[in-house]
């Protein structure tokens, strides 16, 4: 039966249905071609998010990443150059009396060293750390505390080989050391970046062997820059650390801290056991300068003047002077208070005393201890510094000739 032969009511109903159907098809087609501006953007997958973050950090690196994260690319680039370092050292314990009875003061006074002694006890101590190959001939950068005083150093490469390492040089003041291995002239070597380009908030990737777990990778950000060693709690070091929240644990020491491009920006060092979620790394620019001397067997110079100091403000000085038990009266100014002078040091020879306030060095206004440390560290051993001090109401200038800083060992 044709359409025209249908009853009128049926023809009208069919016409309405066709119109509705055509409208729906048109609407759907329009939506596919011209999406509404008000529609929310499609959500990014985890992989898409990683790629977007990597592109914002480093477009060149992101282009080479493909479907993998920037962390994967960075670790693949540097991972083969990261090594595990095992050390052994012999420790001789102190001599002890055979019997506590002989430790009685009466016997010690009359018999002294003639009392029977035990033979010295020798113990083997083993250590674990990380390192990074920075030269294809087998030069490795690590922490001084990883290899210092070690009788034997064994380097485990990523390819499974174990090679004996020889310590080329150690600098305890910056906690850096260089180890050499003979394992061919074409070893994988990490690219050393620039710590001067690092900014707070940048990605930070720590690679190493924490707690004996080889080839461990942790991710975080740069928390702060130029964290003075005095604030970290190790006043015997002369460093401004990179602080990161990437996990750094014992065994990570000496391993590399990377940026998002897989360049080494620092050498990890585990310092404070109570620093939960906080790690520290030696800036790579400082490490490069020290490593260049250590690999040649040269001693690293660290000028020393011999003062224990504290930053001073007028308010602090006023409060100190109000104390009736204060041994001296301190000038109520901003400067560097000398709390103690090391005996027989350059400062002692120059006549600097506790209670003096340092305000200028070689014509540069110096009001913070970190400024003074920087000036001294940048000078030469044997160089004479002109130091202006305030003593009471008088201002005077003294000449201080630096000497080499000696370590406790």
Query: Which candidate in 135, 175, 260, 356 is catalytic?
Result: 175
Annotation says 223 is catalytic:
no
Annotation says 145 is catalytic:
yes
- CA-nearest of 32, 54, 33 to 44 is 54
Q: What does the alpha-carbon distance between residue 1 and residue 244 come to, in Å, rounded to a whole number? A: 83
Q: What does the alpha-carbon distance between residue 297 and residue 169 come to, in Å, rounded to a whole number? A: 6
Instruction: Provide DSSP, 317-335.
Output: HHHHHT-TT-SSPPPSSSE
Query: Which candidate in 86, 145, 260, 379 is catalytic?
Result: 145
Length of the chain equals 409
Annotation says 113 is catalytic:
no
CA 209 to chain CA mean position, Å: 16
In the numeric block, which tokens belong to residue 76? Answer: 């693949």
In the numeric block, which tokens belong to residue 197? Answer: 């380009």
Q: What does residue 220 show for φ and ψ, rounded to 5 degrees?
A: -160, -155
Q: What does the alpha-carbon distance between residue 164 and residue 154 come to, in Å, rounded to a whole number? A: 5
Q: What does the alpha-carbon distance between residue 120 and residue 168 come to, in Å, rounded to a whole number? A: 30
Task: Provide the 10 A C-beta neighbour count for residue 331.
Answer: 22
Query: Which candidate in 86, 253, 302, 379 is catalytic?
Result: 253
Is the Cβ–Cβ distance between 282 and 243 less than 8 Å?
A: no
Which string of b and e fits 316-329 if b means at least 16 CB within 10 Å? ebeebeeeeeeeee
- Please give the positions annotated as active site: 145, 175, 253
């Amino acid at each position: 039966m044709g359409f025209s032969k249908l009853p009128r009511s049926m023809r009208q109903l069919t016409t309405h249905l066709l119109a509705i159907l055509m409208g729906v098809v048109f609407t759907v087609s329009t939506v596919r071609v011209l999406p509404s501006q008000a529609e929310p953007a499609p959500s990014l997958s985890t992989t898409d998010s990683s790629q977007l973050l990597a592109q914002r950090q480093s477009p060149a690196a992101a282009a080479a990443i493909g479907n993998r994260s920037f962390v994967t690319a960075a670790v693949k680039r540097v991972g083969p150059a990261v090594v595990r370092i095992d050390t052994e050292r012999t420790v001789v314990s102190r001599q002890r009396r055979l019997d506590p009875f002989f430790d009685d003061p009466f016997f010690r006074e009359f018999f002294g060293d003639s009392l029977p002694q035990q033979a010295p006890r020798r113990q083997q101590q083993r250590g674990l750390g990380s390192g990074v190959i920075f030269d294809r001939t087998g030069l490795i950068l690590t922490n001084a505390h990883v290899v210092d005083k070690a009788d034997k150093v064994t380097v485990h490469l990523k390819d499974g080989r174990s090679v004996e390492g020889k310590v080329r040089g150690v600098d305890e003041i910056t906690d850096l050391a260089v180890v050499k291995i003979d394992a061919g002239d074409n070893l994988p070597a990490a690219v050393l970046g620039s710590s001067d380009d690092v900014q707070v908030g940048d990605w930070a990737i720590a690679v190493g062997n924490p707690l004996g777990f080889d080839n461990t990778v942790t991710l975080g950000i740069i928390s702060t820059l130029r964290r003075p060693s005095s604030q970290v709690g190790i006043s015997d070091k002369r460093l401004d650390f990179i602080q990161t929240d990437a996990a750094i644990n014992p065994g990570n020491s000496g391993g590399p801290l990377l940026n998002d491009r897989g360049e080494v920006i620092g050498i990890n060092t585990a310092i404070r056991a109570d620093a939960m979620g906080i790690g520290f790394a030696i800036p790579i620019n400082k490490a490069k300068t020290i490593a260049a001397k250590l690999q040649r067997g040269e001693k690293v110079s660290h000028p020393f003047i011999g003062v224990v100091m504290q930053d001073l403000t007028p308010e602090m000085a006023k409060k100190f002077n109000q104390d009736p038990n204060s041994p001296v009266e301190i000038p109520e100014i901003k400067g560097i208070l000398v709390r103690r002078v090391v005996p027989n040091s350059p400062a002692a020879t120059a006549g600097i005393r506790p209670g003096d306030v340092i305000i200028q060095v070689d014509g540069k206004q110096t009001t913070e201890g970190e400024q003074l440390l920087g000036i001294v560290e940048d000078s030469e051993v044997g160089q004479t510094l002109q130091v202006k001090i305030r003593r009471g109401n008088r201002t005077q200038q003294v000449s201080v000739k630096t000497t080499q800083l000696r370590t406790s060992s």
